[in-house]
Amino acid sequence: MDAVYLKIREIARDIVARYPQPDFYADHASEVAESQQFYRTDRSIGQLRRTMADRLGNNLGHGLGHVEKVAIDAGTLVIIESRLAGHAEPRVRRNLLLAQCAGLLHDICRKEPSHAEKGAEMARRILNAYPLAPEEIGCVCTAIRNHEAFTRLEDLPVQRARLISDCLYDADKFRWGPDNFTHTLWDMVDSSNPSLKTFVDHYPTGMAVLKKIRKTFRSQTGRRYGPQFIDIGIAIGEALYEVILTQFMTDS
């Protein structure tokens, strides 16, 4: 990444630091901690994390850092949603495992066309070696296949498949908030190395997509908290855009 982008990234991170964390993390601190603990200690998740660390690299801005955050937030969401649905604790824990597997695997084919569909196929091949029932693997693969925004959601008559799918989608779209301006955007810039003019020309289109994401959250908890993630991201993005135009594009 060249010096100009490094400076813009530093400014972006300073802007992000002005904002508090989204309410989701304070309101559900115990579930967040539970998901984090499971992520650190479960043997299957540990094995899968090592596999993904070897495979992902930068991955067009969706590398290991991204999928780990998605896995932990998807796990947090599935704990909340499972208990709201009255599931027994053994089922809650099993759903947590599936949500975190889906989070770690969802972008495994990010660099390929139809990455969600291909990612689901790859995930199935990987998970066949894990102690999961065929129905459980099917839930993970369905979630991965349905995690892209603005695509037609499959009809999911199985309640558990819908639960895992919704929680993966919402956790992935939480990343379109502050995370987009601390990490994801700059990892993508580092991969594609656009000129600053190209970056600025495409910036309004990216912001328009960000605003559309706001209305797409799927789970009950995601619909409650997701819009705040996006609102913070929009505010950060607009502030950063003004800085770029006034401080970096004055000679263009």
Radius of gyration of the chain (CA): 18
For residue 192, the model assigns a pLDDT of 85
Three-point CA angle 180, 199, 173, nearest 5°:
20
The secondary structure of 180-222 as a DSSP string is IIIIIHHHHHHHH---HHHHHHHHHHHHHHHHHHTT---SHHH
The CA-atom distances, in angstroms, between 206 and each of 18, 153, 188, 203, 234 are: 22, 22, 13, 5, 10
Indicate if the pLDDT at residue 111 is higher than 80: no
DSSP 155: P
Q: Can you say whether the dihedral through the CA atoms of 183, 184, 185, 191 is positive or negative?
A: positive
For residue 251, the model assigns a pLDDT of 58
Phi then psi for residue 91, to 5 deg, are: -70, -35
For residue 59, the model assigns a pLDDT of 54
**pLDDT classification of 70: cutoffs 50, 70, 90:** very high
Q: Average pLDDT of the chain?
A: 93
**pLDDT classification of 77: cutoffs 50, 70, 90:** very high
Three-point CA angle 95, 98, 103, nearest 5°:
125
Mean pLDDT computed over 48-56: 89
For residue 63, the model assigns a pLDDT of 81
Contact indicator for 149, 174 with CB cutoff of 8 Å: no
Mean pLDDT computed over 228-252: 92
**Residue corresponding to tokens 């939480």:** 174
Cα separation, 2 vs 137, in Å, equals: 42
Q: What is the pLDDT of residues 185-218, one digit of tens each?
A: 998 898 888 999 999 999 999 999 999 999 999 9
Indicate if the pLDDT at residue 155 is higher than 90: no
Identify the helix (H) or strand (E) that includes residue 165. Answer: helix 159-174
For residue 143, the model assigns a pLDDT of 96
Contact indicator for 208, 69 with CB cutoff of 8 Å: no
The secondary structure of 117-149 as a DSSP string is HHHHHHHHHHHTTSS--HHHHHHHHHHHHT-ST
Indicate if the pLDDT at residue 38 is higher than 60: yes
| For the chain, domain boundaries | 3-247
| pTM attached to this predicted model | 0.94
Mean pLDDT computed over 37-54: 95
Q: Which amino acid is at 77?
A: L
Which range (21-30, 60-69, 143-152, 230-239) has the least confidence? Answer: 60-69
Which range (60-69, 124-133, 156-165, 219-228) has the least confidence? Answer: 60-69
Cα separation, 144 vs 99, in Å, equals: 10
For residue 57, the model assigns a pLDDT of 65
**Residue 125: Cβ within 10 Å count:** 9
Indicate if the pLDDT at residue 151 is higher than 70: yes
**Domain 3-247 class in CATH:** mainly alpha
